[in-house]
């Protein structure tokens, strides 16, 4: 590992990506310049490792906290991973099906849903991502690191949280879905694991984000930077507010903290 001077964590949607869920050229250039300045850029996202690799293809970035802290990689080496026990997956499936909600299980490289629903289709359309394969026993064949629960009925969120209070943490990250991880896991925990495992506690850390699921990430770093397109609530938890993700906000924020020339 290089002798880095700082770590910078980036959320993807609404932060590093443009309106088409792609990394714009100016952000490609900013990431390359960070590496040249001996600063380590990392993605911190609810997306899977495979999705992150596809999105960042061609960019100078090979480190990420993925699946909301469940699978974490630095310079293409796995730092930590947390598989969900089969019994707990099956218990969640039983409740979700009784409420009419489908869910998708995520491995390191692929994902599959129990059955298709309108909410599921809306989520993947929103993310510009391929729909999951449909499989009744995918979760029995592979190690599962995260679950996506497809529901637009926010009134039922509490049912899940109360039933699985000792097992899962539920992040509502879109109007159509909740990301489900093991208790104790999150972007925050994943970032902390990366920093601790690599013994980089002495380095300054920064994070760029725009959503409610980025608040934990903000807590894990020294300096939290909210995009201008973030909600007032997210902005209230930031140390600095940069321009929006559609107005070169990443580069603007990096320059403000003298991380770019």
Find the CATH number of the domain harbouring 248.
3.40.50.1000
- Please tell me the total count of domains within the chain: 2
Distance set, CA 185 to CA 15, 145, 189 (Å): 22, 11, 5
Check residue 215 and report its DSSP letter. H
pTM: 0.85
Residue-wise pLDDT tens digits, 152-176: 999 999 999 999 999 999 988 899 9
Portion of the chain with pLDDT greater than 70, in percent: 99
Q: What is the pLDDT of residue 217?
A: 94
Does 62 participate in catalysis according to the annotation?
A: no
Range of the domain at 66: 6-81+185-256
Portion of the chain with pLDDT greater than 90, in percent: 86
Domain boundary among 158, 182, 206: 182
Report how far residue 201's alpha carbon sits from residue 208's, in angstroms, rounded to the nearest whole number.
Answer: 19
| Catalytic choice (11, 13, 62, 127) | 11
Residue-wise pLDDT tens digits, 230-250: 999 999 999 999 999 999 999
Domain boundary among 137, 154, 182: 182
Find the CATH number of the domain harbouring 138.
3.30.1240.10
Residue-wise pLDDT tens digits, 104-141: 999 999 999 999 999 999 999 988 889 999 999 999 99
């Amino acid at each position: 590992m290089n002798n880095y001077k700082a770590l910078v964590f980036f959320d993807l949607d609404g932060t590093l990506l443009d309106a088409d869920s792609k990394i714009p050229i100016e952000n490609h250039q900013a990431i390359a310049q960070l590496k040249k300045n001996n600063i380590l850029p990392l993605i911190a996202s609810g997306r899977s490792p495979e999705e992150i690799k596809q999105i960042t293809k061609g960019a100078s970035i090979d480190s990420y906290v993925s699946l909301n802290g469940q699978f974490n990689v630095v310079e293409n080496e796995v730092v930590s991973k947390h598989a969900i026990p089969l019994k707990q997956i099956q218990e969640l499936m039983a409740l979700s099906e009784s409420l009419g909600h489908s869910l998708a299980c995520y491995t390191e490289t692929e994902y599959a849903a129990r059955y298709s629903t309108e909410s599921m289709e809306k989520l993947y359309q929103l993310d510009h991502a391929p729909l999951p394969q449909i499989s009744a026993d995918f979760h029995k064949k592979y190690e599962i690191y995260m679950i996506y629960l497809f529901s637009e009925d926010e009134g039922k969120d509490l049912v899940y949280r109360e039933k699985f209070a000792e097992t899962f943490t539920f992040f509502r990250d879109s109007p159509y879905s909740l990301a489900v991880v093991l208790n104790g896991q999150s972007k925050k925990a994943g970032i902390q694991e990366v920093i601790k495992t690599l013994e980089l506690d002495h380095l300054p850390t920064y994070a760029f984000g725009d959503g409610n699921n980025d608040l934990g990430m903000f807590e894990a770093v020294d300096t939290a930077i909210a995009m201008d397109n973030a909600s007032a609530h997210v902005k209230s938890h930031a140390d600095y507010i940069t321009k929006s993700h559609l107005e070169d906000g990443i580069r603007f924020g990096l320059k403000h903290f003298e991380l770019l020339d």
